[in-house]
Structure 1
């Protein structure tokens, strides 16, 4: 997607996240993140946005930014997060190709961070919606945005994350977002994972994750979903390394 589209998604999803967080209240439990309250969720997303603010002012070779401690009082926390995300979006209006610090040094750029935050904020918006009266959200991510999010987690995030928890099984997992007409294949071998798009959703694999782009997007991030998983259950852990 275009850089401006990512920025629009960040604004839309963060506004919706804030609205849902306010409706749920700071003490509400987040069913999709069982250890968190909504207060914890807002502290997390505010901290992430503070990290990005700092990253966008650093060079790729610089050290990881040290982050401020979020405020404890609920209204102060909301105000602080508003400041972080406003500054982040302002800095993301830079040249998308500009190289900056990232936890993936070879990929760090303004454009990469815009994409990462479009999906970070979208998934946590979903968490906030789940926290409102412990309800199942009615929101639907459009297929282009969801498919882009699947591509990011499958191709970019998962191979990095599995380094922390290498898979103990070899095999292949086909991920298919049917309505978007896109498919990806993850291959686990020797404790490593490689992944990329494939042109044919009929590619043979040891396991399959299939559904609408919206459903697969949620499933890839371990959120409740209507996507269908078949085959070796252990291969599911190759997505995001979780």
Structure 2
């Protein structure tokens, strides 16, 4: 609404947003949405070919980024003159095994990407976010970071880590001009999330089987954009967003 927009400290914004994991799914949708809302978007991901195509589409800037690699993160930081918003979206689930059959390599990957990679990039960009005078750190969490479920331990443990990271950082930055926002989606149907987790297209399809209108990436991007465009004294600590068909992590209505 016009009255709301005029109250923002950054109308028609020229703010710079860095979005990680931006080559597909929620990251790509978030980059598109923020660009449409007037942000200058820096897109980071490992798949530079996809990233470059998207950057050209939205008028953004593609930077090859592996959040698990310190040198890669340092190169990104060195290439930036300004950062107002960091969207820590890089992450994922890599197995669905019970704890008794845990693949420790999968656990390591889950923590390296979801937790340590997020810490690494947030730490590196905090000076710029503070210097902006109105910075935002967005953590892409999950309802898996709030509730555990069978077969999801490596992912739920990692996303619980992201949740407590957001809570702790918010406490540590109180009084500073940086907001800490956590978006925690439930079931989101994207091209890659379930496939990466199961390694099988048929198994991935069954995750969403019978679910009427699961969330899509654009729904989550809408939440991110709304949170970072509130007047800067308003902090959206935690936004939990699910499809109507999902009442809880373990309670999903499936139509026959």
TM-score bracket for this pair, using the shorter chain length: under 0.3
TM-score (norm 1): 0.26
TM-score (norm 2): 0.25
